[in-house]
Structure 1
Amino acid sequence: MGVVSVKKSVVLLSLGHACVDVYQGAVAALVPFFIAERAYSHAAVAGVVLAASLLSSVAQPLFGAVTDRRALPWLLPVSTIVGGVGIALSGVSGSYAVTLAFVAVSGIGVAAYHPESARVARIASRGSHTAMSWFSLGGNVGFALAPLLVTAVVATGGLRFTPLLVLPALAGSVLCLPVLRGLAASAANGSVAAQAKRPDDRGSFVKLSIAVVGRSITFVGLSTFIAVYAQERVGGGVLAGTIALFTLYVGGAVGTILGGRLANRWDRVTVVRYAYLVAVVAVAGVVFVPGPAFYLFVAATSAGLYVPFSLQVTLGQDYLPSRVGTASGITLGLTITIGGLASPLIGGLADATSLRVALAPLIAMPVLSWLMFRTLPEPAVMGADGSDGRQPAPDVGHRGAVAVGVDAPGQVGDGDARQRS
């Protein structure tokens, strides 16, 4: 990488990813406080989650398509700040409309961050499954820390203290700067490595996207309501809910790293397929098993849903090697946002019946994802030495080349790893 080593770049990007994904996790973490302090209904808080997801679900693929044509590394610090400011201001007004607006702003910031960060991370990681899993781990850690951070801040002084939640965004915007300077320096060196073009496999990408939708609905549905549901199943008030949400998120750290390591031994498709089978059983346990065992099934659900996380991102990039920004935007965007679109339906059903009844359909979603992966092929990837191997080498970007820190579409940038994401 020149100015910044590969290992240091991945670490910095992972930490920055954590700072951004705090704000995705913070939306669900704020739900119990909106209910307690503002008497929001289940449908109303699902609307808050929807506000964070709706614009993001549209914007994230669009940002990915833009970065296929033009590298926009400055999006990393700017989008981090936007994501943080939106959540920080979400508690300052008692107006439901204003709250929705600020949460939506945060969602746009998060949407702008992920496609470009995935592109930069795969360049920095030189296509390693393990390195990409560490980058994804950062996001999982951010999710896991969100309920603890939100509870520490909001439980102390109420929703009026949410402006303090901007601090991770300030840190994250600074952490990515050395990596971006390193990429710019590598681009300035002008070193070029030729890469063979591979055709897009759009049919497989569609199946992958459907699988990601199933995962998204399951994960976001649970993360939105599990803090409240835990109080019903276990008792213990807000603390029980915070522990459940933290367990759902922190288990993803184990699942993400495990997924990267397993993919180095077996192919990604096989690993993800078995992970979804685990998720089917685990989600059923979350819905139906009461008492302390509830937390064990929450942890198993987290692992089962997070093993596929980074693997689905790189699979999407390899199915669409000419549009990896778009692929990253769709797979990363669908991971959260489509589930947010389904949350109001779950909330409305919960208001009409019970949370247990509303959450039961989520068991079918990992089944859908498993069915999609049953017919997916493991994409052949051209190695850096020209050989055909399972370990992915850096992909090609727009018109067969990568632009890192430069504006011209198709111009090659980073000399260490020619890859769009």
Structure 2
Amino acid sequence: MSTTQPPARSTTSLKLLSLSHVCVDVYQGAVAALVPFFLSERAYTYAAASGIVLAASLLSSVAQPLFGALTDRRAMPWLLPVSALTAGIGVALSGLSGSYAVTLAVVAVAGIGVAAYHPESARVARIASRGSHTAMGLFSLGGNIGFATAPLLVSAVIATGGLRASPLLVVPALAGAALCVAALRTVSLPATVATTSSAGGRPAGRDDWPAFLTMSGAVVCRSIVFVGLSAFLSLYARQRTGGGEFAGTAALFVLYLGGAIGTVAGGRLATRYGRIAVVRWSYTLTVPAVAGVVLVPGPLLYLFTALTSAGLYVPFSLHVTLGQDYLPRHVGTAGGVTLGLTVSIGGLASPLIGAAADATSLQTALAPLIALPALGWLLLRTLHEPEMPENMATTASGTGSGPGPDPDPQGNTTPVSRS
């Protein structure tokens, strides 16, 4: 059985939502891109600068599953333009006050805006896609592009006018809010939210909490590496390459750009080799890649940054689908943890990396990141491919007949179309 292709009107909605996703996820990458400017203009220590990254990532990561629970109970399409504006205003205000407390507060507001956008936008995109995995991939790609664009935008604005020019960073938010409004006008949303995990509304299968928690431990290792590099790679690239501001911005851009490539590659590789195998190999290859970033000087740093980006991003969407299949009765919880709470651990580690850099050197502080993908691989060795959703639905119903969800090779399910 094949997925239903979205009609032209829904295709327009998806394109608008994808563009709004670009605009909003600019603010996911903007805070880390601002760190070098906070250090140079305000003489922050590494620990103080990483605290700003923590304020944004922690609030966003904790709030995202909460917003997900809310939007599972009640549709809130108005959240899309409001959250886009909230994220942009928070980042735009970050450069205006010399107060560290005020800066922390406004970037935290930006993090909440980002958190509010994603669960509801994903729900609306799912409705507009009519079960098309290609269409949902387009929506996800928009976020990756926004993340990658952030360091270029921040550098262009702040390098020209200093932190006082930060209000100009609100422009993507204004565009994103307008795109959200336009998208909502072109998609037909149901009056209520109803979610079921199998045909006939019956919960399918049993939750495998030990496997889910083990995988979450690996995701935490990935999170610490990614957030740690996001916070300090720009500064480190300047030191290691002997370049200026552009050298740091380029390194951060390469790290984020891998999200667009890795997300697409992860799905295709999993189709051919299986999710668990692809995730394990990704963690394995990330070990020498991170070692190259930390230890190899000169322009080769960019090559190792690209390899690190691929290693970190290829398993990203696979973590989510694996988590949902390990917890078929708690799909919302699985998504909230894999996308939200585990990311906050990476934010919590950033101040520790910053404090170590202040006490020793940035290279010494980043060196422990090399070991974390190896630890993640050790955790993943014990995991099995979860039972596929259609098999669990069959077990729950006691028969192989009747309508049920169509699986894709990554373990996602697509509702069967009914006339």
TM over 0.5: yes
Question: Where does structure 1 lack aligned partners over 5 or more consecutive residues?
Answer: 397-414
Give how far 1:387 is off. 7.1
SS state at 2:23 partner = helix
> Which residue number corresponds to residue 339 of structure 2?
332
1:29 to 27, 33, 49: 33
Q: Comparing both chains, which one has the higher relative contact order based on Cα–Cα distances under 8 Å and sequence gaps of 6 or more?
A: 1
| CA distance 1:208–1:117, change in 2 (3 Å) | farther
> Which residue number corresponds to residue 154 of structure 1?
158
Please tell me whether the aligned partners of residues 56 and 108 of structure 2 are also in contact (alpha carbons under 8 angstroms): yes
SS state at 2:273 partner = coil
TM-score, with length taken from structure 1 = 0.86
Q: Does 1:297 align with 2:301?
A: no
SS state at 1:40 partner = coil
> Which residue number corresponds to residue 324 of structure 2?
317
> Which residue number corresponds to residue 343 of structure 1?
350
Please tell me whether the aligned partners of residues 20 and 83 of structure 1 are also in contact (alpha carbons under 8 angstroms): yes
What amino acid maps onto 2:108 in structure 1? A
Please tell me whether the aligned partners of residues 280 and 366 of structure 1 are also in contact (alpha carbons under 8 angstroms): yes
Please tell me whether the aligned partners of residues 118 and 328 of structure 1 are also in contact (alpha carbons under 8 angstroms): no
Distance of 2:43 and 2:132 partners within structure 1: 47
Q: Deviations along 1:141-177, whole A, 9 cap, x unmatched?
A: 1111000000111111111111111111122223234
Using the TM superposition, name which of 101-110 and 265-274 deviates more.
265-274
What amino acid maps onto 1:71 in structure 2? A
Q: Does 1:142 align with 2:157?
A: no
Distance of 1:366 and 1:118 partners within structure 2: 29
Aligned residues: 397
| CA distance 1:90–1:252, change in 2 (3 Å) | same
Using the TM superposition, name which of 306-315 and 329-338 deviates more.
329-338
2:404 to 376, 386, 410: 386
SS state at 1:36 partner = helix
Give how far 1:393 is off. 5.2
| CA distance 1:348–1:129, change in 2 (3 Å) | farther
> Which residue number corresponds to residue 288 of structure 1?
295
Please tell me whether the aligned partners of residues 144 and 257 of structure 2 are also in contact (alpha carbons under 8 angstroms): yes
> Which residue number corresponds to residue 231 of structure 2?
224
| CA distance 1:9–1:139, change in 2 (3 Å) | same
Give how far 1:9 is off. 4.1
Q: Deviations along 1:10-55, whole A, 9 cap, x unmatched?
A: 4333322221111110001001111111111111101111111222
| CA distance 1:335–1:159, change in 2 (3 Å) | farther
Give how far 1:132 is off. 4.0
What amino acid maps onto 1:211 in structure 2? A
What amino acid maps onto 2:203 in structure 1? K
Distance of 1:229 and 1:154 partners within structure 2: 19
> Which residue number corresponds to residue 55 of structure 1?
59
Summarize the alignment of residues 37-52 of structure 1 with structure 2, pairs less than 5 Å apart: 37-52=41-56
| CA distance 1:339–1:361, change in 2 (3 Å) | same
Q: Does 1:269 align with 2:276?
A: yes
Q: Does 1:74 align with 2:78?
A: yes
TM-score, with length taken from structure 2 = 0.86
Q: CA RMSD in A?
A: 2.8
Please tell me whether the aligned partners of residues 19 and 142 of structure 2 are also in contact (alpha carbons under 8 angstroms): yes
